[in-house]
Amino acid sequence: MEKILARRFEGKVAIVTASTQGIGLGIAERLALEGASVVICSRKQKNVDEAVEKLKAKGIQQVMGLVCHVSNAEQRKNLINKTIEKYGKIDVVVSNAAVNPANIPLLQTQESILDKLWETNVKAAILLLKDAGPHLQKGSSVIFISSLGGYQPQPSMAMYGVTKTALLGLTKALAAEMAPDVRVNCVAPGFVPTRFAAYITANEAAKKSFEKMTLLNRLGTTEEVAAATAFLASDDASYITGETLIVAGGTPSRL
Compute the distance between CA of residue 176 and CA of residue 162 in angstroms, rounded to an integer: 22
Which structural domain, as residue segments, surrounds residue 28?
13-192+221-247
Q: Are 188 and 146 in contact (CB under 8 A)?
A: yes
Compute the distance between CA of residue 171 and CA of residue 154 in angstroms, rounded to an integer: 21
The reply to whether 1 falls in a domain is no
The reply to whether 215 falls in a domain is no
- The catalytically annotated residue of 87, 151, 160, 239 is 160
Instruction: Note down pLDDT in tens along the chain; length 255 residues.
Output: 456 568 999 999 999 999 999 999 999 999 999 999 999 999 999 999 999 999 999 999 999 999 999 999 999 999 999 999 999 999 999 999 999 998 889 999 999 999 999 999 999 999 999 999 999 989 999 999 999 999 999 888 999 999 999 999 999 999 999 999 999 999 999 999 887 777 777 888 889 999 999 999 999 999 999 999 999 999 999 999 999 999 999 999 875
Residue 160 annotated to the active site: yes
Which pLDDT score, from 0 to 100, does residue 216 have?
Answer: 98
The reply to whether 186 falls in a domain is yes
Q: What dihedral do alpha carbons 166, 25, 100, 203 form, nearest 10°?
A: 120
The reply to whether 214 falls in a domain is no
**pTM for the full predicted model:** 0.96
Residue 149: CATH number of its domain = 3.40.50.720
The reply to whether 4 falls in a domain is no
The reply to whether 216 falls in a domain is no
The reply to whether 255 falls in a domain is no
**Counted domains in the chain:** 1
The reply to whether 183 falls in a domain is yes
Q: Are 187 and 247 in contact (CB under 8 A)?
A: yes
Q: What dihedral do alpha carbons 90, 72, 94, 213 form, nearest 10°?
A: 180
Q: What dihedral do alpha carbons 142, 148, 153, 158 form, nearest 10°?
A: -60
Strand partners, 90: 136
